[in-house]
Structure 1
Amino acid sequence: MKKYLVLIGALLLLAACGGGNSSSNESSSTQESSVSSSSSTSQSKDSASSSTKESTSQSTTASSSAPVDNSADSQLQQTYPNEQLPAVSAVGAAQNISMAVQEQDNGLIVSYYNTDSKLPLNDPQLQNQTPIAQFQKTTYATADEARDAVAPSFDGDGQATDLGYGITGYRQSGAGSSFLEWQEGNWNLGVQASNINGEDPVPTAQQVVEYLETAFLPVPQDVGQISLSAVSGGYESNVVAWQVGNTVYKIMHTDALSSLQMAVSMNQ
């Protein structure tokens, strides 16, 4: 009987030892799995971080290699971001227009030149050239002074001339020239032609009236004056001027229709 009890005790002892080893093995397996998972997570983070750095580096490289717009019109916009200026494309072939700007105590003057290729803003090569167009912004002490500077003029006593679209112009002659004048809204418009050279103001006036049927000029507060020439001349031969408060805007161009296009571009 005693032998039997000893045998049973030995069997129970062996079973207890076997159970302990199993638990130990399970614990070891769990630890190995945790280490493996941690290592995998770390590698994933390192890979993501490396990918992000590479992406940022590529983005920075692409940004630094992007072309910088150093054209005169871009420089002008950057220098005077709050100024409304005529569109360069309205002056002429944009790829051949160079510009110079001059600041004054009471305003700003931008001169436009027709060059073989675009030059930087205020390039020294422009100093001895004559502009094809010019934009001026001048601020006066009072609105009355600004209106006087526009110098509005209209004479409706001449020969009535149909300009189309229900608009009548009035033609007069004197001092070797013909003058054809009409009004549209707050704008006084006039075309001058040389009688000596056999020029006729009517075709230019009709072209202007037709153009302004679909293109819209800036709205003067009180007065606006457009004085055009029937033939191309110096840049001062075609003038578009209007008053807003105590400020006068003036555009000049060698070509009559181009002077209007510059003004229209400021109303868009």
Structure 2
Amino acid sequence: MDNHNKMDEQLRNLDKDIQWSPRGQQRVRRRVIHNMNQTTHPLRSLFKKWLIPTFSILLFAAIITTLVLSEVTDQKIADDSGQNGQHSTHIVSGDDQENASDENDNNDQNHSKPDHSTQHRHNNNGGEKPATNESNKTDSAQSDDTESQKQTLTQDDILAVVKRQMDTDLNISLPSTLPLNDGNHLTATTSSDATSYNVTFYEHTEPIPINNKLLFSDKNPAHVIARLRVQQYDNQAKADEAIGHEIFSESGGKEVDLGPGTTGYQDGAAGSLFTSWNVGRWALSVKTSTNNSETGLAYARKTVQYLNEKALPIPKPHGFAHLDPENNSTRIKWQKGKTVYTIDQTNDPDTSLTIAVQFK
């Protein structure tokens, strides 16, 4: 209040020398009072001028920082969740891995095998019958096959599974047993269509499911025992031509004694020597090099003796065994009407003969 009184006194003294209009005096008085208020409240002025803007900037920075930290935290949580999810897909039991592998193998078989059953899904009106039940039966059979291979590994069981893996209109005929090294397990790959089927037999120290993808890969650890190919031809003439049966007594050649009641004929051509003979409906020929004639003759006599104890399948009408003890080109073929059976890809002719005599 003292300050205001002093200011009023000063204003009144000014009136002595200067003539002020009431309006001008009022205006000047308000200005002076305003300046006095500004001077008497410096903290308030400082607060308005600096503190409020500074506080606003700090608040804005805090909001931005909070948002950034929130985004980083959410991203880290998402990454951790993704990593945990990836690890969890690999933490499975051995049985689960084996089941998953078997399911993939069965799926591969379903895609690789042609569906010939569709040829019989037409009714008299030309419509198609639903294939759902047949598909379910196929899936169920394949699942049963995989399970049976896990539980049992006898050759009878494996050969039964091989038959179920093929879809053909032909009657499937397989050898009753196959020669395996001690401790090895039998497995196979198969393919088929309406008029043919193929089976490649393998052996390995560990059980491998039939048609497992490992058997089709470059890293296949199993060893081939033999391949069986069965083909039905359009007519008898083509089937006969595929056999190529010969009667060697009519073809000429040097006669050789192969054992009691068996005469063979030796004939050479292009560096190869053939020791050949007929027994029943079969023609058999042993191939060696011309400078190894004794080996051919010895193996022919050994084969005659073996077949006196074991019988080859009865062909209708003919069969032909091309035996090669020096190379891996042995082929044994026989026919049942228009259907021709071929055994090849063996390591030696003994294996081919051992498999052939297992057919009924």
Using structure 1 for the length normalisation, give the TM-score.
0.66
Counterpart of 2:341?
A: 249
Relative distance call for 1:196 and 1:188 in structure 2 (3 A) is: same
Relative distance call for 1:200 and 1:154 in structure 2 (3 A) is: farther
Give 5+ residue unaligned stretches, structure 1: 1-66
Contact 2:177 2:358 in 1 (8 A): no
- For residue 152 of structure 2, what is the amino acid of its counterpart? D
> Shift of residue 85 of structure 1?
0.3
Structure number having the greater helix percentage: 2
Match of 1:226 among 311, 318, 321: 321
Counterpart of 1:117?
A: 206
- The one-character-per-residue Cα deviations of 1:45-78 (angstroms, maximum 9, x if unpaired) are xxxxxxxxxxxxxxxxxxxxxx833764342144
Relative distance call for 1:217 and 1:198 in structure 2 (3 A) is: closer
Aligned to 1:212, the other structure's residue is in SS state helix
Radius of gyration: which is bigger?
2
CA distance in 2: counterparts of 1:91 and 1:169, whole angstroms: 32
CA distance in 1: counterparts of 2:161 and 2:200, whole angstroms: 14
Contact 2:166 2:190 in 1 (8 A): no
Contact 1:160 1:170 in 2 (8 A): yes
CA distance in 2: counterparts of 1:167 and 1:94, whole angstroms: 39
Contact 1:109 1:137 in 2 (8 A): yes
Counterpart of 1:168?
A: 263
Counterpart of 2:332?
A: 240
> Shift of residue 91 of structure 1?
6.2
- For residue 240 of structure 1, what is the amino acid of its counterpart? I
Structure number having the greater strand percentage: 1
For residues 207-222 of structure 1, the aligned pairs below 5 Å read 207-222=302-317
Contact 1:150 1:243 in 2 (8 A): yes
Counterpart of 1:261?
A: 354
CA distance in 2: counterparts of 1:94 and 1:263, whole angstroms: 23
- The one-character-per-residue Cα deviations of 1:183-209 (angstroms, maximum 9, x if unpaired) are 001100000002357772111111110
- For residue 68 of structure 1, what is the amino acid of its counterpart? Q
For residues 133-148 of structure 1, the aligned pairs below 5 Å read 133-148=226-241
Q: Higher mean Cα deviation, 106-115 or 193-202?
A: 193-202
- For residue 244 of structure 2, what is the amino acid of its counterpart? A
Contact 2:273 2:293 in 1 (8 A): no
Counterpart of 1:25?
A: none
Aligned to 1:200, the other structure's residue is in SS state helix
CA distance in 1: counterparts of 2:319 and 2:229, whole angstroms: 14
- For residue 227 of structure 1, what is the amino acid of its counterpart? H
Contact 1:169 1:182 in 2 (8 A): yes
Q: Higher mean Cα deviation, 79-88 or 199-208?
A: 79-88
Contact 2:186 2:202 in 1 (8 A): yes
The CA RMSD measured in Å over matched residues stands at 2.5
Q: Higher mean Cα deviation, 161-170 or 145-154?
A: 145-154
Aligned to 1:120, the other structure's residue is in SS state coil
Counterpart of 2:159?
A: 73
Contact 1:227 1:240 in 2 (8 A): yes
Counterpart of 1:52?
A: none
Residue 194 of structure 1 pairs with residue 297 of structure 2: no
- The one-character-per-residue Cα deviations of 1:156-185 (angstroms, maximum 9, x if unpaired) are 311111111210110112211110110001
Using structure 2 for the length normalisation, give the TM-score.
0.50
> Shift of residue 103 of structure 1?
1.1
Higher RCO (C-alpha under 8 Å, 6+ residues apart): 1
> Shift of residue 104 of structure 1?
3.2
Identity level (%): 28
Contact 1:98 1:112 in 2 (8 A): yes
> Shift of residue 226 of structure 1?
0.5
Relative distance call for 1:203 and 1:94 in structure 2 (3 A) is: farther
Count of paired positions: 198
CA distance in 1: counterparts of 2:310 and 2:208, whole angstroms: 30
Contact 2:165 2:190 in 1 (8 A): no
CA distance in 2: counterparts of 1:137 and 1:211, whole angstroms: 25
CA distance in 1: counterparts of 2:186 and 2:177, whole angstroms: 7
